[in-house]
Amino acid sequence: MGIIDGLVSGFFQAVSLEVFPFLLVGAVFGLVIGVIPGLSGHFAMAMVIPFLYAMEPGAGIAFLLGAHSTVAQGGGLTAILFSTPGTGQNAATLLDGPPMRDQGLAGLATGAALASCFLGAVFGAVALALLIPVLQQVVLFFGPPEIFVLAILALTFVAVLGKEDLTRSMIAALAGLLLAMVGLDNVTNQERFTLGLFELRDGLSLVPVILGLFAVAEMFDLWVRRDSRAGGMQANRLSAKETQKQIFQGITEAFKHWWLVLRCSAIGAAMGLIPGLGSAPAAFVAYGHAKQSSKNKDTFGKGNIEGVIGSEAANDAVEGGALASTLAFGIPGSSSMGILLAGLFILGVETGPNIITYNVDIVFLMLFTIIIGNLIGTIVGLFLVNPLSRATSLRASILVPILLVVVFTGAYAVNRSGFDIGVAIVFGILGYLMKELGYSRAAMLIGFVLGFAVEKNLYLALQLSGPYFLLDPIPLTLAIVTVVFLGYNVWTIIRDKRRKKSYAR
Amino acid sequence: MHDKQSVTKSGDRVEEQSVANKKSLELCFIIVVGLIVAAAFFSALGYDLVSARTPLVIMVPLLILIGGHFMRVKKASRNTDVVSILWAVVKGENQNFNIVAGFSGWMVLLLALIIVAGHYVGIAALMFILLRVVSREKILLSLAITTGVTLMIFILFELGFDIELHRGAIFKIWL
């Protein structure tokens, strides 16, 4: 399928009656989840996953990405209104959003944030669309040896660049890979690590693992704290009329700062291409750039609208870049992309050269889903800022029982198996412990999702070229990059420790 | 002024205790993970070479990392009285652990209820217990949420997605 055909088909699929309602529901759901502090984008996606089994691919993709695309918008709203970012990626918005609120400009900041998110998402989607012809050529050079080494490189990036400690992240990534080995070996038909349980012969089911690690673990966290997630913060609520007026002004401001939006979106899209970096660092880099390039540097941190615009635009532009490696090589760079990849498996959508070359309409469907999802988020956010902000005052004692039964019902529904509820509970406890102790859940999930591909491609690579496949040009280059990158980071950690010790003396 | 200082000191003590608890927890966590991986390693040695190859390639660096990290955590917690912290947990004196263990227990109860009495009975019972008994929400609110959410799940899964949820062993025996 040609790119133009794919673009037209993707657009009409996105606005069709079979897909659009799911996109709408997904986007509103994502916005509400984004508003609730502590429940992030991957939580929204994890909650959506069980429903995918009953959906057509187009509807499922729209539902999943619709939910994911609006989470940052919801998170931006609470960062401004309550000084509590709904998700980690909105942390940079805290620097200028709340000071603007305190000056009585909450509506202005909210409008600017919503519009910047939308514009950033459009930029990210356009960037990915422009990358498609390049990716179509690049993927042709990637066979089993290249994919195997690329997967290891991506895992290394996720482990090293994540916010968690390097050793803990590496342990999590390798443990994730090991978990993927549970079940029958496809080549020899031998049972591995099944403990004699029939239910484990097909391996650990993706959905309960995802739900456990990201949804049940959050429920533990909420239950332990058991207070309102907004921490009792009260928004500086304006009258509905005044808020509306300011929001429209904020949107105009975002368009007036189009050059800043463009530059910060470019930073976000470029950083999205690097596995493991995620939205939060992109938002902070964009914020720094906005400050550096501003004429009013002194007002940053005291309520400068450019700070809000820069960070929020980068936040959403990241998705376009992150989608590129996930779709072209089947290598996710973040937990959200890992869940997306799992969702695509469930929907029967194959990533890699196939999707980029023959099913490019699905790629465009994803792009239009992100754009339309963000547009829906902006429109809903425009008119429902005050009602939406009330979601933050939901008590954990009410929220947890409701979400918990929905999560367990989702875990059960996939294979109609009580065993999967048990898996979700076990991974929920594991996920909570990992969160508490600073082990990367993203690295574990990506390791788990990639495990099957890693083993399959290693097997094929050894069959094709024997153990010397590592000496082929692309695998060798990627392996060198992996070793140098890991070595450099280990060296910097040792150097910093030594410096600390010498300072202490 | 004096009050402020004593509040700061007690805050520091709470912080210190929390750090010590975390170190002890991580020590136990890494030991359990290490034992599981070691068991997996030895069981993989008995597999066909092709089946064992990838797991062993993964587990060798994993065991090295776990071993190294264990030493690191042990070194970091040399001033921590791990045994007395664990003893306090066993005696039920650690509030956070009690909450987590209790919450895990409720989830296991839910699983048992679902298997025996069916999905709807299980989720309704768990919601009501958590809302009314554990969190002491008002009875009307608890009943309304329990009924509403159970009904919503029935409509969504059974009518919307045509997924029949588990009817329960009792129900199946009666029929």
The tens digit of pLDDT for each residue in A346-402 reads: 888 888 777 888 888 888 898 899 899 989 988 887 777 767 666 656 778 888 898
Task: Residue count of chain A, please give it.
Answer: 505
Q: Which residues of A439-461 are buried (b: 16+ CB within 10 A; e: fewer)?
A: bbbbbbbbbbbbbbbbbbbbbbb
Asked if B106 and B71 sit in the same domain, the reply is no
Tell me how close the Cα of B98 comes to any Cα of chain A, in angstroms.
10
When pLDDT is averaged across residues A230-239 and rounded to a whole number, the result is 49
Residue B157 sits at the chain A interface (C-beta within 8 Å): yes
A46 against A240, higher pLDDT: A46
Q: In chain A, where are the structural domains located?
A: 3-227+238-471
Tell me how close the Cα of B135 comes to any Cα of chain A, in angstroms.
6
Task: Give first-to-last CA distance, chain B, whole Å.
Answer: 73
CB A195 within 8 A of CB B69: no
DSSP state of B161: S
Q: Is the dihedral of CA A338, A344, A350, A351 positive or negative?
A: negative
Q: Is A136 exposed, middle or buried (0-12, 13-18, 19+ CB in 10 A)?
A: middle
Asked if B99 and B86 sit in the same domain, the reply is no
According to DSSP, the residues that pair with A191 across neighbouring strands are A184
| pLDDT confidence band for A231 (50 / 70 / 90) | very low
According to DSSP, the residues that pair with A183 across neighbouring strands are A192
**Residues B65, A171: C-beta atoms closer than 8 Å:** yes
Q: What is the pLDDT of residue A192?
A: 92
Q: What is the pLDDT of residue A232?
A: 43
**Residues B33, A404: C-beta atoms closer than 8 Å:** no
Asked if B163 and B128 sit in the same domain, the reply is yes
The tens digit of pLDDT for each residue in B28-61 reads: 999 999 999 999 999 999 998 888 988 999 999 9
**Residues B123, A408: C-beta atoms closer than 8 Å:** yes
Q: Helix A305-329 and helix A144-161: axis angle, to 10°?
A: 150
Integer Cα distance of A97 and A108 in angstroms: 9
Q: What is the pLDDT of residue A39?
A: 64
Q: Which of A28-37, A64-73, B122-131 has the lowest mean pLDDT?
A: A28-37
The tens digit of pLDDT for each residue in A167-222 reads: 998 999 999 999 999 998 878 888 999 988 888 888 898 888 988 888 888 888 88
Q: What is the pLDDT of residue A159?
A: 79
What would the DSSP string read from start to end of A256-302?
Answer: HTHHHHHHHHHHHHHHHTSTTT-HHHHHHHHHHHHHHT-S-GGGTTS
A303 against A231, higher pLDDT: A303
Domain enclosing residue B102, as ranges: 95-174
DSSP state of A184: E
Task: Give first-to-last CA distance, chain A, whole Å.
Answer: 66
Asked if B66 and B85 sit in the same domain, the reply is yes
Q: What is the pLDDT of residue A237?
A: 53
Asked if B145 and B170 sit in the same domain, the reply is yes
Q: For residue A48, is pLDDT > 80?
A: yes
Among A103, A106, A86, CA closest to A394:
A86
When pLDDT is averaged across residues A30-49 and rounded to a whole number, the result is 74
CB A459 within 8 A of CB B55: no
Q: For residue A140, is pLDDT > 80?
A: no
Tell me how close the Cα of A343 comes to any Cα of chain B, in angstroms.
17
| pLDDT confidence band for A132 (50 / 70 / 90) | confident
Nearest CA in chain B to A221: B100
Asked if B109 and B34 sit in the same domain, the reply is no
Asked if B15 and B84 sit in the same domain, the reply is yes
Asked if B11 and B26 sit in the same domain, the reply is yes
Tell me how close the Cα of A284 comes to any Cα of chain B, in angstroms.
29
Integer Cα distance of A359 and B138 in angstroms: 54
Integer Cα distance of A442 and A450 in angstroms: 12
Tell me how close the Cα of B116 comes to any Cα of chain A, in angstroms.
11
Q: Is the dihedral of CA A169, A170, A173, A175 positive or negative?
A: negative
User: Among B43, B58, B90, where does a domain finish?
Assistant: B90
Residue B116 sits at the chain A interface (C-beta within 8 Å): no
**Residues B25, A188: C-beta atoms closer than 8 Å:** no
Tell me how close the Cα of B8 comes to any Cα of chain A, in angstroms.
21
> Which of A190, A436, A437 is opposite residue B51, by nearest beta carbon?
A190
Q: Which residues of A touch B150 (CB under 8 A)?
A: 405
The tens digit of pLDDT for each residue in B149-175 reads: 999 889 888 887 777 888 888 877 776
Residue B35 sits at the chain A interface (C-beta within 8 Å): no
Any residues with CB less than 8 A from the CB of B9 and at least 6 apart, and which?
Answer: none
Q: For residue B10, is pLDDT > 70?
A: no
Q: Helix A106-138 and helix A360-383: axis angle, to 10°?
A: 180
Count chain A–chain B contacts defined by CB atoms under 8 A. Answer: 151
Among A312, A271, A317, A264, CA closest to A125:
A317
Any residues with CB less than 8 A from the CB of B153 and at least 6 apart, and which?
Answer: A405, A406, A409, B120, B123, B165
Integer Cα distance of B87 and A327 in angstroms: 50
Residue B44 sits at the chain A interface (C-beta within 8 Å): yes
Q: What is the pLDDT of residue A233?
A: 45
Asked if B76 and B38 sit in the same domain, the reply is yes
The mean pLDDT value of chain A amounts to 83
Q: Kindly state the tokens that stand for A113.
A: 């944030």
CB A97 within 8 A of CB A77: no
Q: Is A268 exposed, middle or buried (0-12, 13-18, 19+ CB in 10 A)?
A: buried
CB B127 within 8 A of CB B150: yes
Q: How far is CA A107 from the centre of its chain?
A: 27
- Is residue A183 within a helix (H) or strand (E), and if so which, with residue range? strand A183-184
**Residues B58, A223: C-beta atoms closer than 8 Å:** no
> Which of B99, B103, B111 is opposite residue A418, by nearest beta carbon?
B111
**Residues B166, A412: C-beta atoms closer than 8 Å:** yes
Quote ipTM for the complex. Answer: 0.90
> Which of A175, A402, A455 is opposite residue B54, by nearest beta carbon?
A455
Q: For residue A230, is pLDDT > 90?
A: no
Asked if B85 and B115 sit in the same domain, the reply is no
Collapsing DSSP states into helix, strand and coil, what is residue B165? coil
Total number of domains in chain B = 2
Q: For residue A481, is pLDDT > 70?
A: yes
Q: Which amino acid is at A352?
A: G
Q: Kindly state the tokens that stand for B168.
A: 């329960």
Any residues with CB less than 8 A from the CB of B99 and at least 6 apart, and which?
Answer: A223, A224, A226
The tens digit of pLDDT for each residue in A252-303 reads: 988 998 999 999 998 888 888 776 666 777 887 888 888 888 888 788 888 8
Nearest CA in chain A to B32: A430
Asked if B7 and B30 sit in the same domain, the reply is yes
Q: What is the pLDDT of residue A234?
A: 47
Q: Which residues of A touch B62 (CB under 8 A)?
A: 171, 174-175, 178
User: Among B69, B90, B111, where does a domain finish?
Assistant: B90
Q: What is the pLDDT of residue A179?
A: 94
Residue B66 sits at the chain A interface (C-beta within 8 Å): yes
